[in-house]
Amino acid sequence: MEKATFAAGCFWGVEATFRNISGVVSTQVGYTGGKLENPTYQDVCTDQTGHAEAVEITYDPSKVAYEDLLKVFWENHDPTQKNRQGPDVGTQYRSAIFYHTPAQEAAARASKEKLERAKVFRRPIATEIVSATNFWRAEEYHQQYLEKRGLASCHIK
């Protein structure tokens, strides 16, 4: 099993999207990329901790390639928005790929460059590609939030 971590706005919809991919074993939402140890949702919402709302994915690489996860990431949010997705504004809603290995970093950078060369988006891609750091699991009520409420998605696309 391998891990992948993505931030693409509100983590509820991002988690629901990745949970439905064959080869994804589990997902959890949380906070990463910030400076505060063990942050809470209230901490992150202050826009002062530097954390992004993110989804940590455990996947079986024999069933789904990291490149396929990247494709889902790019297609399910607006990576040209620096610190917002739809009505959600703040650094916690930024677009970011947190790589766990050099191979993931290379794949992420290559996929971003390919999209930029192809001019898939009207504006430049603002997605950060940075090394994964501590991932702090969000409060239990955030885990599988949409499923618990019988909702299919909250995507803006």
- Which residues are designated catalytic? 10
**CB of 117 closer than 8 Å to CB of 38:** no
**CB of 26 closer than 8 Å to CB of 60:** no
Instruction: Determine the Cα–Cα distance for residues 95 and 82; give it in Å rounded to an integer.
Output: 7
Beta bridge partners of 136: 31
**DSSP structural state of residue 58:** E
What are the backbone angles phi and psi of residue 153, rounded to the nearest 5°?
A: -165, 170
